[in-house]
């Protein structure tokens, strides 16, 4: 026997159930756009009840009622299947597919075989699982924390994306975001009131985006309605934009058209594109590569490195990440025999740390390096000591420049 709340509306529940059976409840799709390029990158499926006379009923009229019983479970599974059908059809026709997010009620946490059912449905349609994202609202996560943490980590380990929905609407918990292995954070539209001109609101939003980025979460701003909001969100490095400014939720056939257009035509007219930090650092990197085709980030304390090589650098044989000592011995082996000792001594960790302790700003040397084409060229290698506020480790950025 299902327990039902006192304000339970039996007539409406029956109507919704009937509508679901008759195929009247189906997903609309709201596109989501990359905040810098304006490309359509994903979408959210939102349930709509279309009555036989063509009236569109929004979820606020039936989802809260469905949430009072297990009817919501049926709706969510139905929406997921419709989304899978839509994606499968596009794949069969060779059309581009973007990941689609489906809202899942908290009630699924207690559902028997939830995980198996989710995998079965998506696999049955032959879809890569990362084309499906599950949205779980933040407020639903506040209780049963242990259960929700394991629920989410299982879904993630099965290969699905998970978004924390409506973050900032209500009592947001930063520790919840830290503990849950979701990979997407959706910022609630209540945080975007007005045009983001209020100083305190801006500070809060900047803080949320900073911690989300540090936690490697993809950020989506919901309910973006104005260009001013968009401009501010870009300066916060918000990744993805969803809102009426670009597109309202739409039926599948219209969404299919939006997928084939893929990009918002006037998006780049906005001067803020070039000023946003995310885009500015990409541009800066491009300029750096013009002069220095090889850039290496190294952590001397941890004996590790990460290399960013531009295609025209003289030699391409070194692994792009690994042990710093190995990088130096590899680098030295590509030098002219007369320069090998100079190179390996100059860039030994011991020598670099000594220079750092002596207060040097950089260490630089010119050697002859053998290119992939068998020709020696003079290359200047400079290690700049840099600081990252979050670690005490000794870090260097290596810039390599060819002369010949």
Residues contributing to the site for ligand C2E (CB under 6 A): 30, 46-47, 58-60, 63, 72, 75-76, 79, 103-105, 135, 137, 165-166, 189, 222-225, 242-244, 249
Rank residues 241 and 352 by Cβ distance to Mg ion and give the closer one: 241
Verify binding: residue 133, Mg ion, rule CB under 5 A.
Answer: no
Query: Which range touches Mg ion (CB under 5 A), out of 86-94, 128-136, 232-240, 361-369?
Result: 128-136
CB of 221 to ligand C2E, least distance (A): 10
Measure the CA–CA gap between 33 and 241, rounded to whole angstroms: 5
Q: Count of alpha carbons within 13 Å of 141, Cβ hemisphere only? A: 31
Q: Are 217 and 182 in contact (CB under 8 A)?
A: yes
List 221's β-bridge partners, or say none: 187, 241
CA distance 26 to 114: 21
* Burial class for 18, CB neighbours closer than 10 Å (0-12, 13-18, 19+): exposed
| Smallest distance from ligand C2E to CB 187, Å | 11
Minimum Å gap between C-beta 227 and ligand C2E is 13
In the list 30, 103, 105, 315, the residue contacting Mg ion (rule: CB under 5 A) is: 103
Binder among 76, 135, 138, 339 for Mg ion (CB under 5 A): 135
Secondary element (H or E) of residue 288: helix 277-291
Query: Binding residues for Mg ion, how many (CB under 5 A)?
Result: 5
- Is 166 a residue that touches Mg ion (CB under 5 A)? yes
Q: Using the rule CB under 5 A, is 383 a contact of Mg ion? A: no
Restricting to residues 210-239, name those near Mg ion by CB under 5 A: 222
Helix %, strand %, coil % for the chain, to 5?
A: 45, 25, 30
Provide, rounded to whole angstroms, the least separation between the CB of residue 29 and ligand C2E.
10
Which lies closer to ligand C2E via its Cβ, residue 228 or residue 380? 228
Q: Which of 76, 82, 133, 165 binds Mg ion (CB under 5 A)?
A: 165
- Quote the least distance from Cβ 106 to ligand C2E, whole Å: 9
The CA–CA distances, whole Å, from 298 to 157, 288, 383, 399 equal: 31, 17, 9, 11
Q: What are 305's strand-pairing partners?
A: 298, 322
Question: Which CA distances in Å does 293 have to 225, 353, 367?
Answer: 41, 25, 16
Residues that bind Mg ion (CB under 5 A): 103, 135, 165-166, 222
């Amino acid at each position: 026997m299902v327990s039902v709340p006192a304000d339970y509306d039996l007539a409406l529940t029956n109507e919704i159930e009937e509508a679901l059976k008759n195929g009247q409840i189906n997903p609309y799709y709201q596109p989501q756009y990359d905040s810098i390029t304006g490309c359509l990158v994903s979408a959210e499926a939102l349930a709509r009840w279309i009555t036989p006379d063509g009236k569109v009923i929004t979820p606020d009229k039936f989802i809260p009622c469905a949430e009072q019983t297990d009817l919501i479970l049926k709706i969510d599974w139905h929406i997921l299947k419709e989304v899978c059908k839509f994606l499968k059809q596009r794949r069969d026709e060779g059309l581009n597919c973007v990941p689609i997010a489906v809202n899942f009620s908290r009630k699924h946490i207690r559902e028997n075989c939830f995980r198996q059912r989710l995998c079965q449905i998506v696999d049955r349609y032959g879809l890569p699982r990362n084309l499906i994202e599950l949205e779980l609202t933040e407020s639903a996560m506040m209780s049963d924390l242990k259960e929700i943490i394991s629920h989410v980590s299982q879904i993630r380990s099965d290969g699905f994306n998970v978004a924390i929905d409506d973050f900032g609407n209500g009592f947001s918990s930063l520790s919840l975001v830290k503990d849950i292995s979701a990979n997407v954070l959706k910022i609630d539209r209540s945080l975007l009131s007005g045009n983001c001109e209020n100083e305190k609101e801006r500070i809060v939003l900047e803080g949320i985006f900073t911690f989300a980025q540090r936690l490697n979460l993809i950020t989506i701003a919901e309910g973006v309605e104005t260009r001013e909001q968009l401009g501010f969100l870009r300066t916060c490095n918000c990744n993805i934009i969803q809102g009426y400014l670009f597109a309202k939720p739409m039926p599948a056939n219209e969404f299919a058209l939006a997928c084939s257009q893929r990009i918002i035509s006037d998006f780049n007219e906005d001067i803020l594109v070039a000023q946003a930090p995310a885009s500015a650092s990409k541009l800066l990197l491009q300029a750096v590569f013009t002069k220095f085709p090889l850039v290496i980030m190294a952590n001397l304390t941890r004996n590790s490195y990460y290399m960013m090589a531009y295609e025209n650098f003289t030699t391409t044989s070194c692994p792009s990440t690994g042990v710093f000592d190995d990088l130096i011995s590899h680098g030295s082996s590509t030098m002219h025999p007369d320069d090998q000792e100079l190179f390996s001594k100059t860039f030994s960790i011991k020598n670099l740390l000594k220079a750092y302790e002596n207060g040097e700003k950089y260490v630089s040397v010119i050697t002859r390096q053998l290119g992939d084409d068998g020709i020696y060229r003079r290359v200047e290698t400079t290690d700049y000591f840099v600081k990252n506020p979050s670690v005490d480790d000794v870090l260097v950025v290596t810039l390599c420049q060819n002369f010949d």
